[in-house]
Structure formats: C-alpha cells, structure tokens
C-alpha cells in the first residue's frame, strides 16, 4: 500500500516547513529534454514535492543513455516521456505529470510553453540549447529560465556553478567543457549540473532569486 496524498504531503511539510511545502505543491516546472540533465532534474523536483511537472522529449530510451540518465534496461526503446513517467509515478505518485513527446522548435515553443512560469533547458546539443534559450527569452521575458552548459569530462566538480546571466535567465555548468572525442559524460558530473539546475529552480519557487 502506498501512502495517501495527505500522508505524503505531511511528511514533506515536516521536512520542508508547511509554508515552503505549499509553494512547492503549487509550483509547476517545464523540463525540456529528458536526458542526463532532465531525467535527474525531474526526479529531484518530484522528490521535493513540486506539484506539477511538464516533461518534454521526442526521443526513446537508448542503451547509450544508461551511463547517466535515470532509465532502466527494461525501458529500452520506450519514449523517454513514458519511461520517466513510470519512474516519477513510483517516486511521487501524486505529482501531476504532463508530457509531450515532441521535438521542441522555435515554432512550437511559444504554444507549448506559454502556460509555464518556470522553464528548464536540459538538452544535449549546443545548437538546441541556444535555440531554446533564444526563443524563450525573446517570446517570454517574464518567465524564469534555468539552462545548463558544460558538464563533460572528468574535470573538477567544483568548476560547475550557477550564475544569473541577466534578469530571469540562470545558467548552470562549467560553461566550457562540452562533449568531444575522449570527453564523455559521467553520471557524477552531469548530476552535479542537474542538481545545480534543480536547486536553482527550488530557490526560485521559494522566492529566492539570487544564485
């Protein structure tokens, strides 16, 4: 038997404080890209008791994802949205999950993200990262945007940081080390960046706008 919604909320409120938990329960976050960053960010937010997550990815779970992304070998071939929904439902059964199995483009972002107060960029490709950031900043200057860039290799985890670029745009990562020949992604370092992004989002939900 899984706990009731009230029991889970009470347990969260005991740890986070009732006021903070109310903010988290009322919050909604869009996670764009469900790879090493997005799958881990979604799980951190669901565990914190964020009330609603909008998860978006066009891709299926691949064997090459298992070194860092929160999927399981028995989920290979499934859309990432469906696979992550299964996992999130086990972790936080009362978190509302809305999913879109679609590739985000500058044409569909204005429609798909228009209701979202907080947007998390969690793509893999640098062109896609830039596309999302530019489109969101141009279309929705009033929204919070938390992006990630630079987490590859075995460099020090301490190089990964969060900074407020301007206004409501935050950037996490070392901003330097991308995927290259011989420079792969390790779960540990990708998780550091994912944790920076998830934590900045939790701070924004709490009303803290500094890094």
Partner 1 sequence: MVKINGKEQDASGKTIAELVSEGGYKTERVAVELNLDIVPKSKYTDTVVKDGDSVEIVGFVGGG
Least distance to partner 1 from the beta carbon of 30, Å? 15
C-alpha to C-alpha distance for 97 and 166, rounded to whole angstroms: 30
According to DSSP, the β-strands at 28-32 and 118-121 are parallel
Least distance to partner 1 from the beta carbon of 96, Å? 24
Least distance to partner 1 from the beta carbon of 185, Å? 5
Residues that bind partner 1 (CB under 8 A): 33, 35-38, 122-127, 129-131, 133-134, 137-138, 141, 147-152, 165-167, 169, 171, 173, 175-179, 185, 190
According to DSSP, the β-strands at 52-56 and 144-148 are unpaired
| CB closer to partner 1, 85 vs 129 | 129
Sequence-distant (6+) residues with CB within 8 A of 26 are 51
| CB closer to partner 1, 21 vs 65 | 65
User: Of 88, 95, 93, whose CA–CA distance to 43 is shortest?
Assistant: 88
| CB closer to partner 1, 20 vs 172 | 172
| CB closer to partner 1, 94 vs 155 | 155
Least distance to partner 1 from the beta carbon of 16, Å? 28
Strand partners, 147: 171
C-alpha to C-alpha distance for 84 and 38, rounded to whole angstroms: 10
């Amino acid at each position: 038997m899984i706990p009731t919604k009230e029991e889970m909320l009470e347990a969260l409120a005991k740890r986070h404080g009732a006021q903070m938990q109310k903010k988290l329960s009322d919050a909604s976050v869009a996670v764009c890209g469900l790879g090493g960053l997005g799958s881990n960010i979604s799980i951190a937010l669901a565990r914190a008791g964020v009330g609603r997550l909008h998860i978006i990815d066009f891709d299926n779970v691949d064997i090459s994802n298992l070194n860092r992304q929160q999927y399981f070998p028995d989920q290979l071939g499934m859309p990432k949205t469906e696979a992550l929904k299964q996992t999130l439902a086990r972790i936080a059964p009362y978190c509302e999950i809305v999913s879109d199995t679609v590739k985000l483009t500058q044409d569909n972002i204005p429609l798909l993200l228009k209701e979202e107060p907080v947007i998390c960029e969690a793509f893999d490709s640098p062109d896609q990262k830039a596309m999302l950031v530019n489109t969101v900043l141009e279309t929705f200057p009033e929204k919070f945007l938390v992006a990630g860039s630079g987490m590859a290799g075995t460099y020090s985890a301490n190089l990964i940081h969060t900074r407020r670029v301007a206004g409501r745009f935050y950037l996490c990562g070392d901003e330097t080390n991308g995927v290259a020949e011989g420079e792969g992604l390790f779960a540990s370092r990708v998780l550091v960046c994912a944790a920076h992004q998830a934590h900045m989002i939790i701070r924004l939900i709490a009303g803290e706008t500094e890094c």
